[in-house]
Amino acid sequence: MGRDLTALFDPASVAVLGASDDPAKYGHAISVQALRANGRRPLHLVNRRGGTVLGRTAATSLGAIGEPVELVVVSVPQTGFEDAVDEALACGARAIVAITAGFAELGAEGLARQRAAAERVRAAGALLVGPNCLGIADNTTELYLASDRFAPGGVALLSQSGNLALELQLRLAPQGLGFSRFVSLGNQADVTLVDLVEDCARHDGTRAIAVYAEDFGDGRAFAEAAAQAGKPVVLLTAGRGDASARSAKSHTGALTTSDDVVRAACRDAGVQLTRTPRELACVLGALDAGRRARGRRTAVFTDGGGHGSIAADAVEAAGLAVPELSGPLQEELTGLLWQQSAVGNPVDLAGMGEQDPMSYARTVQALLDSDEVDAVLLTGYFGGYAAGDGGLGGSGGAEGAGEADGGESDAGGLSALGTGELAAAEAIAAAVPASGKPLVVQSMYPASVSCRSLAAAGIPVHEAVEDAARALLALAPEAAAPDGGSRRLQALPPAAEPLDDPDYHATRRLLAAAGVPFPPAREIATEDELRDAARAFPGPYVLKALHLLHKSDAGGVVLRLADEEALVAAHREMHARLGAPSYSVEAMADLSDGVELIVGVNRDPRFGPVAMVGLGGVLTEALGDVAFALAPVTPEHAEQLLRGLRSAVLLDGVRGRPAVDVAAAARAVAAITAVAAAHPEIAEMEVNPLLVTPRGALALDSRAVLGS
C-alpha cells in the first residue's frame, strides 16, 4: 500500500499563500483557477498586505484565517519559503504544494535547504509537492491549483514540464481525451513520481497514466510501480542519449547507455515508451479505445495502391507483420469486391468505394471476422467523399477509379456519395466493438464527418500513416513474448554477504556456487605451482594473465597449450613480457560447434542492476549485438533476450552447424544476473565468453568490479 495522498488531491480546505491581483505573478494564476471550484471546499487567499485579491478579502497570514487549512499552496519568494512551510505546518496543513523555485536546481546549498524543509514536512506527517513545481489539478474532485485549465477526462498527467503539459493537452484534444489529474513534479523533495503513479493506479477516475520525466529518482521503484499499476502507463522522457554514470571497466559498461536502460525498464515493466508529445498522444488515444490485438498480424486496407504500399511499409517498420492472406480469405474478399481489387494484403478497393461506399464496411467486417487477422489499418482516401465539398474531394478520386458521379447534395450538405460513406463509417463503427479487434484509420481527411463518426465510436483516426502504425504497435502484444505477457520485472533478491575481493578466481567461485559451470582452473604465481596445476587436470590448457583489463587485447591469453611443457614455455614468455602477479591455468574447452555469448550486469544509479546479453568474444564491442533487461531475469526471459538478437540464427545452427543448447545458456544467464543483483557492492559483473554448445553452456572468463 502506497502513501495516502488524499490531503493532496481531495483536501477539506485550501489556502493560496502568495495570492495576488498582479497577472504577472504565479499566485494570481493559481488563485484564478482555484476559484473555479465554486464552493466545493473552503478557499482562503493569503497576501501579506491584506486587502482584497480577485474581489475576495485576503488574509494577511495563514494564522489569521482562524481555522486549520488542510492544503496550502506556497507561492512566495525564495527567501520566505522556509517560514511559509513552518507557518503552514503550524496551521495544521497536511499537504503543501510548493511553487517556489531556487533549491536543488541551483546547486548544493539549495539542495541542503530543500532537504531540510522536506524533513520538517515529513516529521509533521504531511506531504510536500515540489518545490519548483507548477501546481496540481484534480478534475474528479474539482481541485484547480495549476495555472491553466485541464480538460476533464481519464488521463493522469505527471510532468516535469509545464509547457509540455500544455502541449499534451492540445494534442490529446483531437483524440477526445482529457485529464483526471495533473501534477507538476518539481524537484520531488518529498512526494515522488513513484508515490504519484501508485496513487493514480488506485484512482477510479484515472484510466491511463502519462508521465513526462527527466529525473526518475528511484527508477527501479518507478518501473515496479508501473508494472503493478493495472492500467496503461505511457512515458515521454528526455536525456536518454548520454551514457549512464558508471566506470566503463568492462564490455558491459562500455556498451550500456541510458537509452538502453530506460528502454529495458519500460519493456520489462510494460510501460509504453514514446519519443515526442505527438507520439505520446497517439499511444494514449489508441490505448483508450480499450481493444487489444491478440497477435501482430495486420491487414492493411486501402482504396489506392500507393497508400497501401506506404502503410504496409510503415506497419512493418513499426515491428508488426503484414502477412499474405490465405487462399480462402482471398476468395472471400474477391466475392465482395470487383475484379481489379487486390486481395493479397494490402487489400485495395481500386476505386470500388466510389461505386459502392458500403464496400468499405463489408471488407472491414470480413477482415475483422478472419482468424488470420489481429488488427486492421484502413488507410487513404476514406473520409474524402464526405469532406464537405459534395464531390470526390480531389481531381481524380481514389486511385484506379473511373468517372463517378457524386450526385445531388442532400439537406445536410453531403452528396449521395458522401452520405453513403457516412453510412459505411457507421457500419464500421458498429462492427469493431463486436469483433473485439482494433481498427486504426489513417485518412487524408481526418476532420471529415465520416472520420469524426469513427472517432466518436472510439476508433483512432490519424492524418499521418506513421501515427496510425504507432497506434497499432501500442495495441499489439510484445514481439518477444508469444503469450502477450510483458510484466517481466523481477523483484531484487535479498542482499548477500558482500564480495570483498573481486579477484578473478573469487568471482568464479561466487558464480560457480550459483550454478554457473566453469572448466577446471587454478591460480598460480610460480612455475612449480604451474606444473602442479598441469598435473591436476588433463590438457590441452589455457593460460591467462590475471589483473589485466581486456586480457586478450594485451596478449595475456594463450589457448590450446597441448601439454605441461608447452604450458611452461608459454608462461615464461608471457611473464617476461607482462610481469603479471599471478596467472590462471585452465582446462581448454571444446570450442567446436560452439557460439560465444557475453553476459553482463551493470549497476545503473537510477534503475539498479541492468543485465546485458549478446554475441560475445573479442568482437563484442565491435559488433554491438546485445539486448538489455533489468536484473535479475528468469531463464524464460533470458531465452527471449537471446532469441531477439540479430545473431540469434547462430543459436539454431547455420551452414551445417548444429543447434546449441539455448536453454542451458538461459539458465546460466539467469544465475549470473541473480548473483549480481544480490550483491549491491558490485558495480559491474561480466562473463565473456559464455560458450554455448549442443552439449550445454560453459563460462570461460569472468570479472567483477566493485563500486567506489
Under a CB-based contact definition with an 8 Å cutoff, are residues 167 and 236 in contact?
no
- Output the pLDDT for position 239: 67
Strands 682-693 and 696-699: antiparallel
Confidence band, pLDDT 50/70/90 cuts, at residue 617: confident
Ranges 57-61, 156-160, 254-258, 420-424: which has the least confidence:
254-258
pLDDT of residue 248: 38
For the cut 90, the answer to whether the pLDDT of residue 241 exceeds it is no
Per-residue 3-state assignment (H helix, E strand, C coil) for 33-69: HHHHHCCCCCEEEECCCCCEECCEECECCCHHHCCCC
d(Cα 659, Cα 650) in Å, to the nearest integer?
Answer: 8
Say yes or no to pLDDT of 409 above 50: no
> What is the dihedral angle through the alpha carbons of 116, 122, 127, 128, rounded to the nearest 10 degrees?
10
Specify the DSSP class assigned to residue 243: B
DSSP reduced 3-state for 639: helix
Model confidence at 67: pLDDT above 90: yes
Instruction: Give residue 350's pLDDT.
Output: 93
Q: How confident is the model over 580-587, as a mean pLDDT?
A: 95
Average pLDDT of 567-588?
A: 95
Residue 478 pLDDT? 78
pLDDT in tens, 117-128: 999 999 999 999
Q: Which three-class secondary structure string do you get for 335-349?
A: HHCCCCCECCCCEEC
Beta sheet of 127-129, edge-to-edge order: 43-46, 14-17, 71-74, 95-98, 127-129
Q: Which of 251-265, 611-625, 643-657 has the highest mean pLDDT?
A: 643-657
Average of per-residue pLDDT values in the chain: 90
Residues making up the chain, counted from first to last: 708
Over the stretch 284-302, which tens digit does the pLDDT of each residue have? 999 998 899 999 999 999 9
pLDDT value, residue 290: 85
Q: Are 246 and 683 in contact (CB under 8 A)?
A: yes
pLDDT digits (tens, 9 = 90+) for 128-142: 999 999 999 999 999
Element (H, E) at 357: none
Q: What is the pLDDT of residue 217?
A: 84
DSSP 8-class letter at 489: P
Lowest-pLDDT range of 16-30, 551-565, 566-580: 551-565
E-strand stretches of 491-647: 521-524, 541-545, 557-561, 583-587, 595-604, 608-615, 626-630
Average pLDDT over residues 369-385: 96
Q: How confident is the model at residue 251 (pLDDT cuts 50, 70, 90)?
A: very low
Burial zone of 494 (CB within 10 Å; 0-12 exposed, 13-18 middle, 19+ buried): exposed
Name the pLDDT band for 240 (thresholds 50, 70, 90). low
Instruction: Answer yes or no: is pLDDT of 190 > 80.
Output: yes
Q: In terms of pLDDT, which residue wins out, 238 or 232?
A: 232
Compute the average pLDDT of residues 499-522. Answer: 95
Mean pLDDT of 207-216: 92
Q: How confident is the model at residue 456 (pLDDT cuts 50, 70, 90)?
A: very high
**Residue 655 pLDDT exceeds 90:** no
Q: What share of the chain has pLDDT > 70, as a percent?
A: 92
Question: In the structure, what pLDDT confidence band is assigned to residue 246 with cuts at 50, 70 and 90?
Answer: very low
Q: Which domains does the chain have, with CATH numbers?
A: 6-286 (3.40.50.261), 293-475 (3.40.50.261), 520-587 (3.30.1490.20), 595-706 (3.30.470.20)
* pLDDT-derived band at 401, boundaries 50, 70, 90: very low
